[in-house]
Amino acid sequence: MSKSLRQLLALLAGMVAAMVVTMALQGVGHHFFPLPPGLDPRDAEALAAHLRAAPAAALLAPLAGHLLGTLAGAWTAVRVARPHGRPAGLLVGVLMLSGAIANLLLIPHPPWFIAADLPGIGLAAWAGMALAGRAS
């Protein structure tokens, strides 16, 4: 298999892993902190108002989802693309960070969430790549 094809497959596998972990943890959060009845999650203004009133604990599962999803995705990408997995792992981190920035621009979040989420995603990508490197 060519290096380019392996990198592409690693990126896809890493993004699938990242999204599965992220969505699973967000699902856990929605179980404990469901949206109020009648709130349309596609209505950014209503969602922003809900987030302002929600307890901080309601945002811990999405934060954990972003961080652990990125870690799992970067780890998966590096393992699939080895021995040249770092570019794929890094790209998973960049894509997850881009998604988080887009989400934060669409729906205002508390400052503490932003301060933990953005640098945390970078650290999670680095940790996933480092753990995958040790596992080889």
pLDDT, tens digit, for every residue of 21-78?
999 999 999 899 998 898 888 888 888 888 888 898 999 999 999 999 999 999 999 9
* Non-local CB neighbours of 80 within 8 Å, separated by 6+ positions: 6, 9, 10, 13, 14, 88
Q: Give the range of the structural domain holding residue 80, as residue numbers without chain letter.
A: 3-135
| Mean pLDDT, residues 95-107 taken together | 94
Give, in order, the Cα–Cα distances in Å from 9 to each of 36, 69, 133: 39, 18, 18
User: Is residue 13 very low, low, confident or very high in pLDDT (cuts 50, 70, 90)?
Assistant: very high
CA atoms within 13 A on the CB side of 51: 21
DSSP secondary structure, 82-96, as one string = TTS-HHHHHHHHHHH
Number of domains in the chain: 1
Q: Is the pLDDT of residue 136 over 60?
A: no
- Taking the mean position of all CA atoms in its chain, how far away is CA 78? 16
User: Is residue 1 very low, low, confident or very high in pLDDT (cuts 50, 70, 90)?
Assistant: confident
